[in-house]
Structure 1
Amino acid sequence: MAGADRNQRRRGPHRSEAWAQAEARRQRSRAARRHQGERGAPAQAAHRQRAHRTPKKSARAPGAGTSRAARGRDLMRLVEERDAEVPVDAACAVLNVSRASLYRARRPTPPPRSSPTFRAPSPRRLPEVERQAILEACHLPEFADQPPTEVYATLLSRGTYLSSIRTMYRVLAEAGETQDRRNQRAPQQHAMPSLTATAPNQIWTWDITKLATMQKGVFLMAYVIIDLFSRFVVGWMVATKECKHLAAQLFAETIARHGIEPGLQVHADRGSAMKSDTLAQLLDSLGASRSFSRPRVSNDNPYSESQFKTMKYQPDYPGRFASAFHGRGWLGDFFAWHNDHHHHAGLALFTPADVFYERVAAVAAIRQAALDGAYRAHPERFPNGPPRVRLPPAEVHINPVVTEAVDLTDAGTAVAAIAS
């Protein structure tokens, strides 16, 4: 009791009451957590799934031109105009509207802030006469192309102090004389490439990867060209260096071997061999166009990068090659397997050769016959009905253009369906 009295005197009546209220809140929080734990892991997992699941129907008026802000206002209006029987959280979940944003929109607009108070100039500010002297000194012919650091050091070595270096920068900035005047290229803006192939030999992608050798720091260069639609390796080469003339030779031989007509598009990154004039002139003479990835964006050429990983993660990949002859031998066997025997997951488990040489229909018929026989023998093993053979995609994209389509009519119908 004596200790409690001392604590009471130390805290005072108000602090003791606040401590009791805080302790009561902690007790309620513990009880809530215990009750939440009694719900069980399955119930909590289902709740999290429902909380993070987005609706299957988008909620936007058909056609382009509606901004995201306007769509958000329209969705909030639908929530506000719901039936009285529909809870707010259910309507927000259907329309994918944040309740926090809805409640924030309900708040009255705060009054505009008053204009800032006038701030008196610093007593350390140089008078206009001295500031003009700094400008005149920087305008001298010997300092016209020099930064303030050079002006400051040179004048100080001559026994003249005008101001600090930072003050010189401030004075020049107020006069608008701190712009960069060096002869250098301005930052370049590169558009995101967007390519779509609907048949073989429409778009080729290519890249160069290094192959380690037994000698540390020495690498072989593997030039690989793949067909975007089928992932078929149409041409490859192993050399001891990266060279624009070798790249042009590889493309000339590959295009001639496959009999490519004008209209081919070649996509690559911005390496020196890819951007070379030698290759550009060759492709232009053959009627082929070029497209390039953005700088430092590997996802703009994903199929070539993925093919390199498939190659280097093979169980029998040597890791290091003894010579260029060794590299050509191993890559020759690998590309033969990749084209004719590798059942590609991105091609519905068809081989690149099946897609490149348009054998998909014949192979799919054989597979479908096998599935039909299995279904007739054991239909109970197929609860979803007769199985169907998956086919490769009809279009293959690099950075596809995605257009959102939101139907507010369907969104309003979904909200009304909750009340029924």
Structure 2
Amino acid sequence: MSAQELLAVTRKEEIPFQVLLASLSRSRATAYRALKPIVLTETDSQKCSRAAHPRALSPAEVAEVAKVLNSEKFVDKAPQAIFNVLLDQGVFICSVRTMYRILDAQGAVAERRQVARSRSFRAPELLATGPNQVWSWDISKLRAHSKWTYFYLYVVMDIFSRKIVGWAVYLQETGTLAEAVISKAAKEEKIKPGQLTIHSDRGGPMRSKTLSELFSDLSISKSFSRPHVSNDNPFSESMFKTIKYMPTFPDRFGTVQEARNFMSKFVKWYNEEHRHSGLEYYTPDDIHTGSHVEKKRNRDSVLAEAYLRNPIRFVNGTPSASLAPEAVWINKPKMEEQAKTC
């Protein structure tokens, strides 16, 4: 859609032009330039043309340098090498940088070696507006009884409610064990085909064939973090930090059963009692079951009664309890933020 067409839309719908551009991720400068193009007269063009710099090579000299660079003797050599070979022969034709500029103008500057190219990965963008739409899962090491010995903690959580929907502690880190944890969680939460997206990092168990087959069987969409970007899986990272910063979390676990006993108590406390700051101090179970709606009404009722008893203490009128988030993102698109600020 051209800038003129966008302008017509803003007039018809009464939308500010800048807001429309932001929602479409269009550059304001480009749009305004298209609306008022600069027309150069012949005199203006003459003023804009620059005289050749006194240190610049003449066209004849440029042609001579290009001939040397493309000669059979130097065609496969780097400009720096050519420059020094010519110096050893008592010849100076131009600087190394000028050689590069001449070659670049001819499209002759490129990487010719067979080198590995890094793949570019797009940041995952996931939105949850209710429970059991997006899960995040990961595996973390728990230090065991002796040095360099670990137990492996598997945790699956719902990013909307922050509820831990599945967990286990094993002696190994494998895709088969991960499949068992996620399969059990999906069964307990009664996940329907096409309902769920599961996000994780790119570890071996996460990309295992066993887990991929489970996702295919249950019609679960899978999402992965970008390589070496821990911020792409923030909910799992935050969960493990919460676990390991608990006052009762031991430095080491003597047995795998000891680790399981600890996690069993933690999960019950976290899901049913923990007042989560990101949930406006409702518990994960409150959000997951929807009981936070009734609890908000109760909070509002208590605040309203407090206001009626002492209205002078509430300078902004009748207070109300905070609402729990209606949407939770992993990597919220920047376009949304731009439209919000306009």
Question: In structure 2, how many angstroms separate the alpha carbons of the residues matched to 1:199 and 1:233?
Answer: 15
Deviations 1:279-324 (A, max 9, x none): 1111111110101111122221111111111111112211222221
- Change beyond 3 A, Cα 1:332–1:180: farther
Tell me the secondary structure at the aligned position of residue 322 of structure 1. Answer: coil
**8 Å CA contact retained: 2:299, 2:320:** no
1:62 is aligned, of 3, 6, 20, to 20
TM-score (norm 1): 0.59
- Change beyond 3 A, Cα 1:378–1:314: same
Structure 2 alignment gaps of length 5 or more = 1-15, 37-46, 79-88, 90-95
- Report the equivalent of 2:258: 326
Post-superposition offset of 1:132: 3.2
Question: In structure 1, how many angstroms separate the alpha carbons of the residues matched to 2:255 and 2:204?
Answer: 24
- Change beyond 3 A, Cα 1:385–1:341: same
Paired AA for residue 219 in structure 2: G
Deviations 1:340-370 (A, max 9, x none): 0001111111000001111112222222222
Tell me the secondary structure at the aligned position of residue 207 of structure 1. Answer: strand
Matched, 1:385 2:325: no
- Report the equivalent of 2:236: 304
**8 Å CA contact retained: 1:196, 1:395:** yes
Post-superposition offset of 1:62: 2.8
**8 Å CA contact retained: 1:59, 1:407:** no
Query: RCO higher in 1 or 2 (8 Å CA, sep ≥ 6)?
Result: 1
User: Rg larger in 1 or in 2?
Assistant: 1
Tell me the secondary structure at the aligned position of residue 132 of structure 1. Answer: coil
Q: CA RMSD in A?
A: 3.8
Deviations 1:250-269 (A, max 9, x none): 11111112211112110111
1:272 is aligned, of 179, 204, 227, to 204
Question: In structure 2, how many angstroms separate the alpha carbons of the residues matched to 1:339 and 1:386?
Answer: 31
Post-superposition offset of 1:176: 5.9
Paired AA for residue 150 in structure 2: F
Matched, 1:132 2:72: yes
- Change beyond 3 A, Cα 1:71–1:179: closer
Question: In structure 1, how many angstroms separate the alpha carbons of the residues matched to 2:292 and 2:205?
Answer: 35
Deviations 1:199-250 (A, max 9, x none): 1111111111121223222222111100011000000111122111111111
- Change beyond 3 A, Cα 1:366–1:250: same
Deviations 1:71-92 (A, max 9, x none): 7989xx9xxxxxxxxxxxxxxx
1:284 is aligned, of 216, 219, 239, to 216
For 1:163-202, list aligned pairs within 5 A: 179-182=111-114, 186-202=117-133
- Change beyond 3 A, Cα 1:175–1:115: closer
- Change beyond 3 A, Cα 1:115–1:240: farther
Tell me the secondary structure at the aligned position of residue 117 of structure 2. Answer: coil
- Report the equivalent of 1:250: 181
TM-score (norm 2): 0.72
Deviations 1:83-133 (A, max 9, x none): xxxxxxxxxxxxxxxxxxxxxxxxxxx966543444598xxx9x969x635
Matched, 1:295 2:227: yes
